[in-house]
Structure 1
Amino acid sequence: MKKKLVVLTGAGIDAESGIKTFRDSDGLWEGHNVLDVATPEGWHKNPALVLDFYNQRRKQLKEVQPNLGHQILAALEKDFEVYIITQNVDDLHERAGSSKVLHLHGELLKVRSTANVNYIVDWKEDLNFGDYDNNNNQLRPHIVWFGEEVPALDEAIKITQSADYFVVIGTSLQVYPAAGLIDFTSSEIPVFYIDPKPIRIPNLRNPLEVIPEVASEGMKILKKKLLDFI
């Protein structure tokens, strides 16, 4: 039986594909204050700006490709039962070939009803005013904005609790509740942390190995270490 490898990924794993991170732009997301484009308040204040922002992000997504970090994670499914829990809203993990990907913060290529959180549809083109659900309610990006509940959190906790190995890649571990997932690991399992600018993880009970590299280089190192466990 394959061991379960659970991987929490953040914006850092996408950086080598050309997608900018919050950390590298002082709280800005592609030149925009996150409060303007990633909060319910921003949506109510200026929905046109929010729609345009995510339309631009969808266009950008068509121009970027998965990098070696994504690809190595997908290849590890040959030897491990790999579950990816990602804070990212793009589809780069899926395009690289990963089969079990849980998006904590929503998905850029989906939209949902402003009146019914369970009305979610695939959406690859621009989203505009007048794009409605089947009850004539405006559609909005299927993104978990700051201040909103994280519907996938319970599933993410269950996956984390069953991990044999837990890996953190490219996240500052500052955004909760995602950052708290590491606390749900069994205390005896090894944790690997890949980030070129790793932070200290307080109160961690697990054996921890920090790999201070970008995702692609870090994943090369991690793959060798994990295969040694088999």
Structure 2
Amino acid sequence: MSLSHVWVQNGPIKTNNKISLGWQVSSDLYGDNKTHLYASWTSDNFHNTGCYNLRCPGFVHTNKRTYLGAPMTNISSYGGTTFDFVTYIYMDPKTKNWWIQIDGTDLGYYPAKLFSNLTSADKVGWGGRTLTPHGSLSPQMGSGHFPDKNLYDACYFRTMTFENSSRIRFGPERYQTEKYIDKPKCYDLTYYGNAYEDAPGHLLYMLEFGGPGGKCDDKLVHF
């Protein structure tokens, strides 16, 4: 399995409440090697609760056009056309339900009652993960190439923001951030902050991540 996701979480690691949203390649889950839209949830760090997509009760689907687990048709190629899409996880301030959104359209929500400690998030993150049988070669992450400061060669997140309690969006400042890389020989992550402009006068909070994989076992990079 190889995936890219944004997530929100709260609580200590043993009882971690978490929602993730992104894309995923997993032959075990989908029976193919295509890229699929995915989301996941847990209220105890996956010890007894949570799952991918609709593989367990929880997510309330409201969209008639697409669904969790749907194959994604626009796929980027290294050195070729690059595609991206907008992912957004947000909490309804009245119901406390957590909604997930793709390209400005709601897919559905995770009811507040699923969670033991997610009335707010104490951490948000962006990054990637791979999973492989122990002792076998780890797959590529993203494009299969390391970040190289040549934007869009590696997998990326751009226009990264989070919301405060007043629903005002901010880009992550460096003092608020930390990064975690399991195996730097296999994968890497570079955060550029607001060093680039997406359009004149509009700063672009951006990171690149990924790599070729190899002898890594189960590894992840996140920010």
TM-score, length-normalised on structure 1? Answer: 0.27
Which protein is bigger by CA-based radius of gyration?
Answer: 1
TM-score, length-normalised on structure 2? Answer: 0.28
Give the helix-richer structure, 1 or 2.
Answer: 1
Give the strand-richer structure, 1 or 2.
Answer: 2
